[in-house]
Structure 1
Amino acid sequence: MTHDHRTYPPLDTLKPIAQDIWIVDGPIIEFGMPWPKMGFPTRMTVVRLSDGTLFIHSPTPLSAGLKSEIEAEGAPAYVIGPNRIHYWWVPEWHTAYPEAKVYLAPRIREQAGKRITFPTNEITNPSGFPWDAEIATLPISGDFMTEIVFFHRRSRTLILTDLIENFEPEKLSNPLMRLVTRLGGVQAPDGQMPRDMRLTYRRNKTDLRNAVETMISWNPERIVIAHGRWFPADGANELRRAFRWLL
């Protein structure tokens, strides 16, 4: 089976990164202006909570093989859409696991339109969730979107979505995309918050800085991101590096 060279195979399978936490690398989604569209590799994070249930962050497609793997590890209890552009496969998981509660970042419902018509919960506060004892929740609001950041305390894993992107140039065969990612500040090994996204935090710069300082104070060991190479070690220093323009 051939894979798109921009992805992180094997796809649609649980990959353990610490005790009770896995990532799943998914397919490419094309996103951006009508032209040029940019191909984004996708990534989900799965956390098993102490009661054995699963916390599903930024779901990727639920293949039959992945469904079997998931159910061998626990029952999905919470399905999370962490920002307004990360919701596409939430309905698929809701259909498969109707008993799981869906939690969405602000503005997902308006963005998704008829794609999400079932009951959901909106994440606007940093606490008051069933997972509070094990996973910290940190909403970070900008003009365009709010991203919900999570920190799994036991494994010291910080779970981001788009706050840092880290595209590897060798996975980008298109020279234009290599240039775009470099100019956009999202090229590995120095992936950061995309420059266009930074502009949407201009009015909330103090809040963003406070949030980054909170994340650093958690002293994460690893940082999972949705797009590009994630950071398996030295997480706090990776935050200092990626947000040096802000700090």
Structure 2
Amino acid sequence: MAVLSTTRTGLRLRERQARSALLPWAEHDAKRRMFMAELVSIAEDLWAATHPLRIAGGVRMDTRMTVARLPGERLWIHSPIPIDDALAAALEELGKVSYLVAPNLYHNLFLGPASARFPEARVFAPPGLARKIPSLRIDEALSAAPPDAWAGVIDQRLVEGAPPMEEVVFLHRPSRSLVVSDLLFNIQRPEGLGTKFVLTLMGTRGKLARSRAWSLITKDKAAWKASVREVLALDFEKMIMAHGDVVADDAKARVSEVLRPYL
């Protein structure tokens, strides 16, 4: 598995053996109070980088950014993490950041800084995000179908019936990789008592699972079930999670097994 990393003298590509279905966490340099995120190659023209996110109560809920390279060296960035100069330089080695995507109403924490760093990139988000955070620059609303900007390379489905979330799930067609944010979690090795407690409460500790929160926010169960069936009908073999280990193979069977009881 190739890892694109940054050094003082520039960028270098080094080989790293894949660890089953897990991508490495971003490295935390406490002394310098900075995070170094590495772009990890998942497939041809597809990368990911992870940021160690901590929320209230000492809960660690690391979040992952996915990057796809489209024809014309255009970069599509799903759920941006903090992008410092080093990570920006690594991205520039791959192509031009052209699209920034907030995949639901919660994965927007670093969208504003990313759009400020890449002012020429078009920003896409679910319709409700403009109402939730009017100050965010959003150029186009996401829907159940991909826009012309990435249609043919990346497909997408809107998970309907849960208006507080408005999650859009994506499929990178060339690599058959499903990209999800909060539809499913796969945190196999949670860190800290607070994290373990919250994940146990959510029903997502140490396994691939749907959070119990979906039961609370789903207002139209029929619409939600229909949307998830559309997601399961997509042709995928990998799954890139925003939270937890990447599922490197047999993802469709595993996802179907997890979601079937809710359908």
Range class of TM-score, shorter chain: 0.7 to 0.9
Q: How many residues align?
A: 231
User: Once the 2 structures are TM-superposed, how far is the Cα of residue 193 of structure 1 from its aligned partner?
Assistant: 1.8
Contact persistence 1:59–1:80 (CA under 8 A): yes
Which one of 135, 145, 150 corresponds to residue 154 of structure 2?
Answer: 135
Q: Residues 129 and 140 from structure 1, CA distance in 2 versus in 1: closer, same or farther, beyond 3 angstroms? A: farther
The Cα of 1:98 is off from its aligned counterpart by 1.1
C-alpha displacement of 1:100: 0.8
- 2:232 alignment partner, SS class: helix
C-alpha separation between the residues in 2 aligned to 1:56 and 1:129?
16
The alignment partner of 2:113 has SS state of helix
Aligned runs of 1:1-247 on 2, under 5 Å? Answer: 8-10=25-27, 11-30=36-55, 36=57, 38-114=59-135, 116=136, 118-141=137-160, 142-168=162-188, 170-174=189-193, 176-189=194-207, 191-201=208-218, 203-247=219-263
Structure-2 change in CA distance of 1:125 and 1:173 (3 Å): closer
Tell me how far apart the structure 2 counterparts of residues 152 and 186 of structure 1 sit (CA, whole Å): 25
Q: Which segments of 5 or more consecutive residues in structure 2 lack a partner in the other structure?
A: 1-23, 28-35
Tell me if the contact between 2:203 and 2:211 (Cα under 8 Å) persists in the aligned partners: yes
How far is the alpha carbon of 1:151 from its aligned partner?
0.4
Greater shift, 210-219 or 227-236, is seen at: 210-219
Distance (Å, rounded) in 2 between the aligned partners of 1:193 and 1:129: 31
- Aligned-residue Cα RMSD (Å) equals 1.9
State the partner residue of 1:4: none
The one-letter code matched in structure 2 to 1:128 is: P
Whether the 8 Å contact between 1:78 and 1:102 is mirrored in structure 2 is yes
Give the Cα–Cα distance (whole angstroms) in 2 for the partners of residues 26 and 134 of structure 1: 26
**CA distance in structure 2 between the aligned counterparts of 1:199 and 1:129, rounded to whole angstroms:** 34
Identity, in percent, stands at: 26
1:171 partner SS: coil
Which residue identity does 2:182 align to in structure 1?
D
Equivalent AA in structure 2 for residue 241 of structure 1: E
CA distance in 2, matches of 1:147, 1:132: 18
Could you tell me the TM-score, scaled by structure 2's length?
A: 0.81
Task: Report if aligned partners of 1:55, 1:79 keep a CA contact under 8 Å in 2.
Answer: yes
Please tell me the residue identity of whatever aligns with 1:151: L
Deviations along 1:125-151, whole A, 9 cap, x unmatched? 414331111111111121312001110
CA–CA separation in structure 2 for the residues paired with 1:8 and 1:73? 21
CA distance in 2, matches of 1:231, 1:86: 20
CA distance in 2, matches of 1:200, 1:129: 31
**C-alpha deviations, 1:86-107, integer Å up to 9, x for none?**
1111122211211110001122
